[in-house]
Amino acid sequence: MNKRGHVLNAVFLAVGLGFVLEPAGDLATFRTIAAVFVPLVLGALFPDVDTHFGKHRKTLHNLFVLGIVAGYPIFFDNLQWVWLGVVTHYILDVLGTTRGIALFYPIWDEEFGAPVGVPVSSDFSDAMMLAITAFELTVAAGLVYVLPEYLPDAGASLPF
Ligand SMILES: [Zn+2]
């Protein structure tokens, strides 16, 4: 997926998460959207830094990097929600494109994809991005409403 696709995916995901986490459509909804919007977009942009530093779809497209980013809220109490932007970037590259990513780099160079993706330059890449975003929001809603006991308190990380 190109930068435009990753940014739009993160934007739609942020807005959708606002309504999944605070469905009333009131101030709390928009406060949640504001809280997750920039971190999600930054996280969604981060992995493709490896187009200039390292090996693309390998150096910053793996579980080791995701673990580091996900550790920041736990160990430093910052970068909340950035990990989710990285996750959505990985999902979009794996499900939405024909190439896949090297999830286990640097231990294993193999790039893993799914047979449902389209070429990055395809006329269908926007439709694929929207379908994957809808899938992600369905999973998020399922977690929030069906399996809430497995989630951290999302509101607890908001500073207001
Ligand atoms: Zn990527």
- Using only C-alpha atoms, the chain has a radius of gyration, in whole angstroms, of 16
Question: For the chain, how are helix, strand and coil distributed in percent, rounded to 5?
Answer: 60, 0, 35
* CA 28–ligand 1 middle distance (angstroms): 32
* CA 47–ligand 1 middle distance (angstroms): 6
Task: State residue 17's pLDDT score.
Answer: 97
* CA 90–ligand 1 middle distance (angstroms): 7
Task: Quote the mean pLDDT of the chain.
Answer: 92
pLDDT surpassing 90 at residue 149: no
Tokens for 87, please give them.
Answer: 């996750």
pLDDT surpassing 90 at residue 89: yes
Residue 120, helix vs strand vs coil: coil
Task: State residue 135's pLDDT score.
Answer: 97
pLDDT surpassing 60 at residue 80: yes
Task: State residue 158's pLDDT score.
Answer: 52
pTM summary value: 0.91
* CA 35–ligand 1 middle distance (angstroms): 24
DSSP letter, residue 79: -
Tokens for 116, please give them.
Answer: 């449902």
